[in-house]
């Protein structure tokens, strides 16, 4: 039921964003996502990842403001090799340890653009959910956590069009991702550096 | 519509686990645990008895035979000697062992997955034993997640024959120390992996050392 509920939320976000697009154009962003773990996330995985992508639609509601939606997928991976660690109060385990985080954000976004033209710096934020699945492998065994986290993602970036009459450009932004603690799962946070192609419509 | 399909489709995608091919030895896992009430008492125990058999937990007719028993027992014995224990045999009728150590193995069964469960229940022990024979408690804590590859686990368990408890009208011996050396009874380079696994089990249990403070 929880998953179904989240699908509805995602669908509602999409509806919202396509409604916005109808009012006066917008842009699609196809971005490659790099991510650097922050805070307590570094206790689980501290290695940055280059495995990530996102798809975002933004629609103009005024000349300087867009609202839209974003979905993405980032995979953190760290190979700790042969590791010995405590289990509970009295246990000890030794094995070949690998850790993974599969992160899928689905969010409503809003952006404010400081200028219009071929170079458009902006600030914005996403609000929605992160589905996060963590796995901690020892050999072939693993413990797993998975949950939908409430998420906030403020960002700052720039869209640069390739020429004054081009509707294609480059989007670059820095995004702080914060997935809130849930009943069973810890909070996660990371800095995203995202670069990709923007298509204006 | 394409975007909508992509967006919603993302939520159904299976997760990604890159670079997850392991060599046989990289699948080996060693788990040890001890009874916290006796953590500081191991230095008081110096004599132990270990039968000349690696018991097979799987007692079914089709159970695979456990190979390399002599190697397993000698590796355990040499580690015990390094920890300051003296092994006695069942011919030594004049002395009583402080500890009994049993080695057992299981092949082709998922029973060993509980070793990865973070909380190992101590409210069970040997349901019965007769002439240092072997009785299996037949109870396992629940297992939250496990893989389907679990095979070939060597177990070592240690208990004090004078320490008995009554649990559900059975007289049992609480297990003082246990080691689960997973997967080493199958695959390639078995003998190397057995020795490494047994050595690791003792290395990660320094409290067993009778000369430890």
Q: What is the DSSP string of B104-135?
A: EEE-S-GGGGGGGSSS---S-B-S--STT---
Q: Is A30 helix (H, G, I), strand (E, B) or coil?
A: strand
Cα separation, A84 vs B116, in Å, equals 13
- The predicted-structure confidence for A37-66, as pLDDT tens digits, reads as follows 999 999 999 999 999 999 999 999 999 999
**Choice between B173 and B205, residue whose per-residue pLDDT is larger:** B205
Residue A8 — pLDDT band, cuts 50, 70, 90? Answer: very low
Average pLDDT, chain A: 89
**Chain B residues close to A57, C-beta within 8 Å:** 3
> Within an 8 Å CB–CB cutoff, is residue B33 touching chain A?
yes
> Measuring CA to CA, which residue among B66, B94, B101, B105 is closest to residue B80?
B101
Partner-chain contact B204 A84, CB within 8 Å: yes
Supply A146's token pair: 């998975």
For residue A94, the tally of other CB atoms under 10 A from its CB is 22
Cα separation, B131 vs A16, in Å, equals 76
- Give the orientation angle of helix B69-82 with respect to helix B190-203, to 10 degrees: 30
**Chain B residues close to A93, C-beta within 8 Å:** 29-32, 115-116
Mean pLDDT (whole number) for B142-169: 62
Cα separation, A70 vs A126, in Å, equals 8
Query: Which candidate in B5, B9, B17 is best for mutational testing of the A interface (most A CBs within 10 A)?
Result: B17
Cα separation, A170 vs B80, in Å, equals 66
**H/E run at residue B3:** helix B2-10
For residue B71, the tally of other CB atoms under 10 A from its CB is 15
> Measuring CA to CA, which residue among A102, A151, A146, A154 is closest to residue A128?
A151
Mean pLDDT (whole number) for B53-72: 82
Amino acid B69: pLDDT: 94
- The predicted-structure confidence for B111-140, as pLDDT tens digits, reads as follows 433 333 222 233 333 333 333 333 333 322
Whether residue A73 is predicted with pLDDT greater than 50 in this model: the reply is yes
Q: Which residue has the tokens 């002395």?
A: B95
Amino acid B38: pLDDT: 76
**Sequence spans of domains, chain A:** 2-200
Taking a C-beta distance cutoff of 8 angstroms, is the pair B35, B122 a contact?
yes
Cα separation, B173 vs B123, in Å, equals 10
**Chain B residues close to A79, C-beta within 8 Å:** 19
> Within an 8 Å CB–CB cutoff, is residue A47 touching chain B?
no
Cα separation, B181 vs B187, in Å, equals 14
Taking a C-beta distance cutoff of 8 angstroms, is the pair A98, B18 a contact?
no
Supply A144's token pair: 């797993």
Beta-carbon pairs below 8 A across chains A and B: 130
Whether residue B169 is predicted with pLDDT greater than 90 in this model: the reply is no
ipTM given for this complex: 0.75
> Within an 8 Å CB–CB cutoff, is residue B10 touching chain A?
yes
**Sequence spans of domains, chain B:** 55-207
Expressed in angstroms, the distance from the first to the final Cα of chain B is 70
> Measuring CA to CA, which residue among B38, B42, B33 is closest to residue B208?
B42
Share of chain B above pLDDT 70, in %: 65
Q: Is A3 helix (H, G, I), strand (E, B) or coil?
A: helix
Residue B55 — pLDDT band, cuts 50, 70, 90? Answer: confident
DSSP string, B16-45: ---S----TGGG-EEEEEE-GGGTTTGGG-
**Chain A residues close to B182, C-beta within 8 Å:** 139, 141
Q: Which residue has the tokens 């177990």?
A: B155
For residue B202, the tally of other CB atoms under 10 A from its CB is 22
Taking a C-beta distance cutoff of 8 angstroms, is the pair A118, A163 a contact?
yes
Query: What's the CATH code, domain A2-200?
Result: 2.40.160.20
Whether residue A196 is predicted with pLDDT greater than 70 in this model: the reply is yes
> Within an 8 Å CB–CB cutoff, is residue B204 touching chain A?
yes
Q: What does R_g of chain A's alpha carbons equal in angstroms?
A: 19
> Within an 8 Å CB–CB cutoff, is residue A50 touching chain B?
no
Amino acid B113: pLDDT: 36
Q: What does R_g of chain B's alpha carbons equal in angstroms?
A: 20
Beta bridge partners of A152: A127, A178
Supply A20's token pair: 């916005």
> Within an 8 Å CB–CB cutoff, is residue A88 touching chain B?
yes
Q: What is the pTM of this model?
A: 0.75
Residue A82 — pLDDT band, cuts 50, 70, 90? Answer: very high
Instruction: State the smallest CA–CA distance between residue A179 and chain B in angstroms.
Output: 16
Partner-chain contact B11 A104, CB within 8 Å: yes
């Amino acid at each position: 039921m929880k998953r179904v509920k989240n699908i509805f939320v995602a669908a509602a976000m999409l509806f919202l964003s396509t409604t916005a697009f109808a009012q006066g154009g917008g842009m699609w962003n196809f971005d490659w996502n790099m991510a650097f773990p922050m805070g307590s996330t570094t206790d689980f995985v501290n290695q940055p990842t280059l495995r990530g992508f996102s798809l975002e639609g933004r629609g103009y509601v005024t000349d300087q403001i867009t609202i839209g939606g974003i979905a993405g997928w980032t995979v953190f991976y760290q190979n700790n090799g042969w590791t010995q660690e405590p289990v509970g109060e009295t246990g000890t385990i030794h094995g070949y340890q690998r850790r993974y985080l599969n992160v899928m954000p689905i969010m409503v976004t809003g952006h404010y653009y400081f200028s219009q033209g071929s170079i458009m710096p902006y600030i914005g934020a996403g609000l929605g959910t992160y589905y996060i699945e963590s796995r901690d492998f020892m050999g072939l065994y693993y413990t797993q956590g998975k949950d939908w986290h409430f998420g906030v993602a403020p960002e700052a970036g720039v869209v640069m069009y390739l020429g004054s009459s081009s509707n294609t450009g480059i989007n670059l932004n820095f995004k702080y991702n914060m997935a809130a603690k849930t009943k069973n799962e810890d909070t996660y946070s990371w800095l995203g550096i995202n670069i990709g192609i923007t298509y204006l419509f | 519509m394409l975007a909508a399909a992509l967006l919603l489709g993302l939520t159904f995608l299976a997760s990604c686990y890159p670079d997850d091919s392991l060599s046989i030895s990289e699948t080996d896992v060693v788990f040890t645990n001890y009874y916290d009430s006796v953590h500081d008492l191991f230095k008081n125990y110096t004599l132990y008895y270990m039968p000349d058999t690696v018991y097979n937990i799987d007692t079914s007719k089709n159970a695979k035979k456990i190979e390399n028993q002599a190697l397993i027992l000698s590796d355990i014995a040499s580690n015990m000697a390094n920890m300051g224990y003296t092994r006695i045999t069942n011919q030594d009728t004049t002395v009583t062992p402080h500890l009994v150590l049993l080695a057992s193995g299981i092949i082709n069964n998922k029973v060993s997955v509980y070793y990865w469960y973070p909380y190992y229940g101590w409210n069970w022990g040997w349901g019965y034993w007769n002439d240092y024979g072997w009785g299996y408690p037949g109870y396992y804590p629940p297992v939250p997640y496990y893989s389907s590859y679990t095979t070939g686990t060597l177990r070592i368990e240690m208990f004090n024959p004078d320490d008995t408890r009554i649990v559900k009208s059975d007289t049992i011996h609480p297990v003082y120390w246990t080691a689960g050396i997973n997967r080493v009874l199958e695959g390639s380079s078995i003998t190397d992996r057995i020795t490494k696994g047994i050595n690791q089990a003792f290395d990660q249990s320094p409290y067993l050392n009778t000369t430890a403070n």
